[in-house]
Amino acid sequence: MSAEGCREMILSQDTRDFIIPDYKKETEVVFPQSQACVQEVGFDYRVVYVDESLAGEITIERYSYNSIPGCYALIDTDAVNEAGISAVQNYPTLMLQGKGIMIGFVDTGIDYQNPVFRDSGGSTRIAGIWDQTIQTGDFPEGFTYGSEYTEEMINEALRSENPERIVPSQDTEGHGSFMASVAAGSPSPENRFQGAAPKATIAMVKLKEAKAYLKNFYGISQEAVCFQENDIMQGIYYLHKLAEKRDMPLVICLALGSSFGGHNGATPLSGILDNYADTPNRCVVIGGGNEASQRHHFYDILAPGQGAKEVEIRVEESGTGFAAELWTTLPNVVTVYIVSPSGEKSPSISVRQASRYNLKFIFDRTTVDIEYRLLMDNNDSQLLFFRFQSAAQGIWRIGVEPLRIADGAFHIWMSMKEFLSGNVYFLEADPDYTVTDPGSTRRAITVSYYNGLDNSVDINSGRGYTRNSLIKPNFAAPGVQVTGAGPDGRFEKRSGSSIAAGITAGASALIIEWLLQQMENAGVTTSEVKNIIILGTNQGTLPEYPNREWGYGTMDIFQSLDRLRSL
């Protein structure tokens, strides 16, 4: 298929997108090559685009769970002092600034005209912008949609009286610009501001929004801002290729999250990130999300002979609906029934591999779709996927019945707050296991955030561990009322998981810079960076070490290098 034909398919609301690992080339989603657009995204993953008439209805029964792209939401210079960054920037024998290291972001774009993204001579520090939302320019080599704006084009725009004519890419939301500024912003002494790695090279991917059919599939409000898993994967691939072209180490900073995906590092996005984390001179930093206080996670343990456990969900406002996922680990096997606010009870669903059920609650004017999957791809899990359409107000109950019990543990996660059109929550929620995907990725750095004023983890900061008991988050970084780049060249304060991710990405660039200065070091992986940071973390008076909120403590990279020197 031609590049222009591919671009049309990728952007069309009438096209369906699938993520396919290479080993399923002949066994999973197969369409006539002449009618499909195929994009490589690295590490033997491909994205396939086909017309909806060929794809038919999108269900887990027809397509594997991991083939359907997930939807991800944004997860929102005292801070650099707290993290030990100022010390390594200014210590005479260190003077680490991130020079020669690229930090890449996949987000809402970047305000390239802001002075914090220019060097002392006024030239840009941005190596490239791939704006997936603009189709009037040339797309990057190896891709067939969006527009790429190179360093040369950005500098030309900065010299022009009308920069937008040359580089029309903007960050109207401001999320990507703020995060890039705390990670790598140039000094602004009059505003007492400096990013963590002020001489690092910056790269940005501006994501296009998810298609309407995926929002419908996941029960997401059409007004909600979310991004498709396959676009994120392609954005990361662009950053990798740009760093490769410039022969530079790359820190990938990702401040996007989802409540879905099993929380055990088994999604395609997690798989891609794990591979980059293991690649020399690549480092992956992920924010742990803001879901701990939202009451969107439920956890319990079924005992033999106990019978059903009824999980109560409060729907306070009628909206378009919501989705939820129940996960348990084999050999645990469960079935479910639903009780509506009016008291209507469904039968227990029959346990069959890849089954679908459509439950209609007449008095409540609500439909609940349930899809069942017993053997997940690359996974030892059972999944039950629920989609409540126009859920009536009141208390809904999901009855979870044990059919086969080992440890009896099960989890239910519902949509993130950003995806809900009304207030929906579990009455007996559990704040643990709320690190958002892809924060469960095994080998990446996952960071929580804390308030430097009183040294307390923020109540919203995602808590560990992963469903397969990995220690996540790995550590905590500042993320409350941190100063960064705002609109029109001004500075503002923001809080959230993305801030901590940006600060950690900048700190990681400094550590890579230091490691590469050591003569014997030919390449750096995420594991080395992560372990050096953990070596210097402050535990303070943590009652448990490591723990679900702080991981191994708070980041202090000066202390990390000092302890490493003294070993």
Q: What is the pLDDT of residues 227-277, one digit of tens each?
A: 999 999 999 999 999 999 999 999 999 999 999 999 999 999 999 999 999
Write out the two tokens for 542: 């943590």
- The pLDDT-based confidence of 536 (bands split at 50, 70, 90) is very high
Q: What is the pLDDT of residues 204-213, one digit of tens each?
A: 999 999 999 9
AA letter at 163: P
The whole-number pLDDT of residue 378 equals 58
* % residues pLDDT > 70 (the chain): 94
pLDDT average, residue stretch 380-391: 92
Res 79 pLDDT > 60: no
The whole-number pLDDT of residue 35 equals 82
Q: Where are the beta strands (DSSP E) in 456-526?
A: 456-457, 475-478, 482-485, 491-494
Per the listing, tokens 């669903």 go with: 349
Res 124 pLDDT > 60: yes
311 SS3 class: strand
Q: How far is 346 from 232, CA to CA, in rounded Å?
A: 38
pLDDT average, residue stretch 132-154: 96
pLDDT average, residue stretch 489-500: 91
Side-chain half-sphere of 280: how many Cα atoms within 13 Å? Answer: 6
Res 192 pLDDT > 70: yes
347 preceded by cis ω (within 30°)?
no
The whole-number pLDDT of residue 519 equals 63
Which CATH class for the 74-292+455-566 domain? alpha beta
- The pLDDT-based confidence of 29 (bands split at 50, 70, 90) is very low
Q: What is the pLDDT of residues 291-321, one digit of tens each?
A: 999 999 999 999 988 889 999 999 987 666 8
- pTM, two decimal places: 0.94
The whole-number pLDDT of residue 162 equals 95
The whole-number pLDDT of residue 28 equals 44
Q: How far is 385 from 357, CA to CA, in rounded Å?
A: 10
304 preceded by cis ω (within 30°)?
no
CATH 2.60.120.1290 residue ranges of the chain are 297-426
Q: What is the pLDDT of residues 438-456, one digit of tens each?
A: 999 999 999 999 987 778 8
Q: Between residues 237 and 193, which one has the greater pLDDT?
A: 237
Pairing of strands 333-339, 394-404: antiparallel
pLDDT average, residue stretch 497-501: 94
The whole-number pLDDT of residue 286 equals 98
Q: Are 564 and 532 in contact (CB under 8 A)?
A: yes
pLDDT average, residue stretch 422-432: 94
What backbone torsions phi and psi does residue 564 show, to the nearest 5 degrees?
-65, -40
Res 78 pLDDT > 60: no
The whole-number pLDDT of residue 454 equals 78
Q: How far is 18 from 229, CA to CA, in rounded Å?
A: 10
Closest CA to 260 of 420, 417, 71, 443: 71
CATH 3.40.50.200 residue ranges of the chain are 74-292+455-566
pLDDT average, residue stretch 44-64: 89
Q: How many residues would you count in the chain? A: 567
438 preceded by cis ω (within 30°)?
yes
Q: How far is 205 from 429, CA to CA, in rounded Å?
A: 35
CATH architecture for residues 297-426: Sandwich (2.60)
Res 501 pLDDT > 60: yes
Provide the terminal-to-terminal Cα distance of the chain, rounded to the nearest Å.
58
Q: Specify the range with the lowest mean pLDDT, choosing from 78-82, 160-164, 198-202, 407-411.
A: 78-82
Per the listing, tokens 């029960």 go with: 219
328 SS3 class: strand
Q: How far is 234 from 175, CA to CA, in rounded Å?
A: 20
Res 23 pLDDT > 60: no
Residues 6+ apart with CB under 8 A from 285: 251, 252, 253, 254, 444, 445, 447, 501, 504, 505, 508
- The pLDDT-based confidence of 566 (bands split at 50, 70, 90) is confident
> What would the 3-class secondary structure string for 85-142 be?
HHHHHHCCCCCCCCCCCEEEEEECCCCCCCHHHECCCCCECEEEEEECCCCCCCCCCC
Q: How far is 557 from 163, CA to CA, in rounded Å?
A: 38
* % residues pLDDT > 90 (the chain): 73
What backbone torsions phi and psi does residue 299 show, to the nearest 5 degrees?
-140, 140
- The pLDDT-based confidence of 427 (bands split at 50, 70, 90) is very high
**Mean residue pLDDT across the chain:** 91
pLDDT average, residue stretch 56-72: 89
Per the listing, tokens 């191994």 go with: 552
Q: What is the pLDDT of residues 355-384, one digit of tens each?
A: 889 999 999 999 999 998 886 665 788 999
The whole-number pLDDT of residue 88 equals 81
The whole-number pLDDT of residue 222 equals 86
The whole-number pLDDT of residue 26 equals 45
The whole-number pLDDT of residue 377 equals 60
330 SS3 class: coil
